[in-house]
Amino acid sequence: MKTEVNTGRVVTRFGAELLVENTEDNPDIPHVRCTAKRKFDTIVCGDYITWHHNEHGNASVDDLLPRTNALTRPGYRGRPRTIAANIDQLVIVNSWLPETSWDLVDRYLIAANQLNAEAIIVMNKSDLAEAHATEADWQAMKNYEEIGYPVLQLNAHTGEGIEQLKQMMDDKTSIFSGRSGVGKSSIANRILPTSDIAVGIISDSGEGKHTTTTADLYRLENKGYLIDSPGVRDYALGDISTQELADGYIEFAQYQNNCRFHNCTHDHEPRCAVRTAVENNEISKERYLRYLDALHTLKENSNS
């Protein structure tokens, strides 16, 4: 008979074995290794679970608690596979070399909206801004701030902006996203208190090699977490509908109810309130044009 119910958060998984952070108040041990039955194969990094100790000094998973959201990737035969759960915030990392693609930033913002997560836009390599940032880039950054996204200038080499980013990650579970070479590892190294403590616990005990198919949960200062893995980092937006695309452009929301057609795609439809807002400079023309590009690509793909 079970005599106890404890709560925990999944740090990482190795097959049927989970490394779990003990989230009980004043825990006797900070981490516990739990075995999970087949029905819990879907449990991923970031999940909250309940667990109990069993006779042999080990522990078992009792239940998977409800998720606020889950990050998925196309897996076997394109079927979505969950890789991480309960993400509060996407930290979208960009740099000046490789240069920033505002299309990609928009796509991550759509993904954040889909996940119902917050988003921070980080511009790393501030030392290269003077040589590479154009007037249009500064305009784009200003526009993101105007519509409500924080934009942070950062330098992972000097540490500029790092404290501010750390504070923005307090009390939240974040992931870093962005293309290769923008500085995600460099920033993570500055933010993580010590490298990989938790994962060391399980791999030292000879539990086999850690695979990259799962993600890892890192505890930050002030009750924050970072979920990280190669799969999380190059997370890309999956198939979305035209409605989901428009929803990702959050500044359209206050206008779209005034469009003549309730299912207006804000393209060629007459009396489109979003287009009027663009003409009146209430919505950034550049972002609207990127929306139209994305819309047309989406329509082409659904026709092919």
Ligand X SMILES: Nc1nc2c(ncn2[C@@H]2O[C@H](COP(=O)(O)OP(=O)(O)OP(=O)(O)O)[C@@H](O)[C@H]2O)c(=O)[nH]1
Q: Which of 109, 76, 64 is nearest to 90 (CA)?
A: 109
Q: Which of 297, 304, 29 is nearest to 20 (CA)?
A: 29
Among 182, 217, 237, 294, the residue binding ligand X under the rule CB under 6 A is 182
Return the residue matching tokens 């009146």: 280
In the complex, what is the shortest distance from the CB of residue 259 to Zn ion, in angstroms, rounded to a whole number?
3
In the complex, what is the shortest distance from the CB of residue 119 to Zn ion, in angstroms, rounded to a whole number?
24
Among 266, 284, 288, 291, the residue binding Zn ion under the rule CB under 5 A is 266
Of 46 and 183, CB closest to ligand X: 183
What HEC string does 248-303 produce? Answer: HCHHHHHHHCCCCCCCCCCCCCCCCHHHHHHHCCCCCHHHHHHHHHHHHHHHHHHH
Q: How far is it, in rounded angstroms, from Cα 223 to Cα 166?
A: 11
In the complex, what is the shortest distance from the CB of residue 217 to ligand X, in angstroms, rounded to a whole number?
18
| 185-202 exposure pattern, b = at least 16 Cβ within 10 A, e = fewer | ebbbebbbeeeeebbebb
Q: Is 205 annotated as a binding residue?
A: no
Q: How far is it, in rounded angstroms, from Cα 278 to Cα 286?
A: 9
Instruction: Evaluate whether 183 touches 96 at the Cβ level (below 8 Å).
Output: no
> 266 contacts which partner out of Zn ion, ligand X, none, CB within 5 to 8 A by kind?
Zn ion
Of 85 and 272, CB closest to Zn ion: 272
Residues 246-265 that bind Zn ion (CB under 5 A): 259, 264
Length of the chain: 304
Q: Is 105 annotated as a binding residue?
A: no
Residues contacting 39, CB < 8 A, separation 6+ = none
Instruction: Evaluate whether 87 touches 173 at the Cβ level (below 8 Å).
Output: yes
In the complex, what is the shortest distance from the CB of residue 95 to ligand X, in angstroms, rounded to a whole number?
7
Instruction: Evaluate whether 210 touches 196 at the Cβ level (below 8 Å).
Output: no
In the complex, what is the shortest distance from the CB of residue 171 to ligand X, in angstroms, rounded to a whole number?
25
- The count of residues interacting with Zn ion (CB under 5 A) is 5
Q: Which amino acid is at 47?
A: D
In the complex, what is the shortest distance from the CB of residue 190 to ligand X, in angstroms, rounded to a whole number?
9
Q: Is 157 in the site for ligand X (CB under 6 A)?
A: yes
Q: Is 272 in the site for Zn ion (CB under 5 A)?
A: yes
Residues 217-236 that bind ligand X (CB under 6 A): 233
Evaluate the omega torsion of the peptide bond into residue 98 and state whether it is cis, within 30 degrees of 0: yes
Of 107 and 275, CB closest to Zn ion: 275
Which range of residues in 59-67, 109-117, 151-159, 202-210 is near ligand X by CB under 6 A?
Answer: 151-159
> 203 contacts which partner out of ligand X, Zn ion, none, CB within 5 to 8 A by kind?
none
Residues 120-139 that bind ligand X (CB under 6 A): 124-125, 127-128
Q: Is 304 annotated as a binding residue?
A: no
Binding residues for Zn ion, rule: CB under 5 A, are: 259, 264, 266, 272, 274
Binding residues for ligand X, rule: CB under 6 A, are: 124-125, 127-128, 155-157, 180-186, 233
Q: Which residues are annotated as a binding site for GTP?
A: 124-127, 178-186
Q: Which residues are annotated as a binding site for Zn(2+)?
A: 259, 264, 266, 272
